[in-house]
Structure 1
């Protein structure tokens, strides 16, 4: 006797069909991607791994619709250990309310190279021969506590040297909750086991296109990548005319779309010092980091 799919216990699905989640996922903002995900969107209470070729190929623009929805609804979003300082005006231009966005940066070691950074005691190395340094363990701890606290609408973290055991810890921390959780890693991680129920590879395409490869999902395999057209990184904004008698054409500059959100986000270093630097030039940020390193060193 063949049982109907509705009669199967929760968590079971036919391999030829996408899994039916007990709760619908959060829409990605891309209808084609929603149609390929169990629950029709980003899963709640589960880790989604994004295996990116390199930083900055479009992962922020891929997640921007969900981050916009969450922050505009007043739900905090925690960004942990991004490889580069996020550009706050661009985030605000995508509609992300920066008042609800917090960024935890890795500590800056003055006068020490990455090779001299302390390594974690015990445990096995991460994927690609990398080993988790002390600051990486701190970032892992931040992500785990943010998920356990259940106070965030989403947690986005970069953990390139995470081991399968550490990904399982994050999955356990996120399990059963409402938080969206993304972990960004390198493409070599696809060769290792992972407790994350959803693993997507990100490959860069021409123009503003991003390829999404489905390495793991609760559903049938998809061999071909799904190509998405991402929102433009910047929208041209016309400058206002300064005088009524000025007949010259209005200049156009390249910048993010206007937003009522402030142009800074809460930036927290691993030392616990909170400051807002994301609206300053790179030279100002670098100088502030040097002063912070000298002060904490």
Structure 2
């Protein structure tokens, strides 16, 4: 039987949240509203996720920041609300038997969202969406699973939207997406090819990179920090920063917040997942945080992406 260990906490918002902690002192907080991770701290109590200075905590909508879940639709690429409804629903702790390996660390929780009659009015497909969140030293892992519990097939898109804090967006590099095709959402989704040896930022950027590698590095020169994003069964990767004009147009984002944040998402966008009745899709994402002073000076993408090995 899977062994989960977490504490319920109630602070500032109406939605209960779960606290995961592990022996080195790392912690993660997860809202039951949206199954959204809203805090991830390392052993030095440094916050590793970005939360907007104007985030709304009243459990009426997803928080601007952290790691919200986009299902069954990414962005506005469909008929549903932006990024689908899963991030705006109350989830439950999942105590049902799981086909996943037995939990070997207590810093794990399984959550579940099942279709409701209201959901069926806007998206007429019965489903079960489960997610396992595991915390370990310097790493947090998501394992999402979607099962078709309907009598007819359906398709969906999916993303984990990773809001990461940065010291200065102008000093950040994203490596691992060189030479790849992407949909540029600032050009009505036009398909383009990345020409730069790394993605850097001097204005608004909103791109969905296609057929991406399993490892992507987000390097913050000033903080001497690297986030390594590892993913499986989520072939696309969205890179987004709203810059100044868009930031001012978003009511739940501070006017200057764009300077201190970057989204790099694990996603399924170009080719939606198709499930027949009874079928299940499973993905995986790991976010790894590592001090990258080792990489300061000359940055070799192969060293950055290979540094953590298979830890």
* Greater Rg over alpha carbons, structure: 1
More helix by share: 1
TM above 0.5, yes or no, is no
- TM-score (structure 1 length as normaliser): 0.23
Q: What's the TM-score, normalizing by structure 2?
A: 0.23
Greater relative contact order (CA < 8 Å, ≥ 6 in sequence): 1
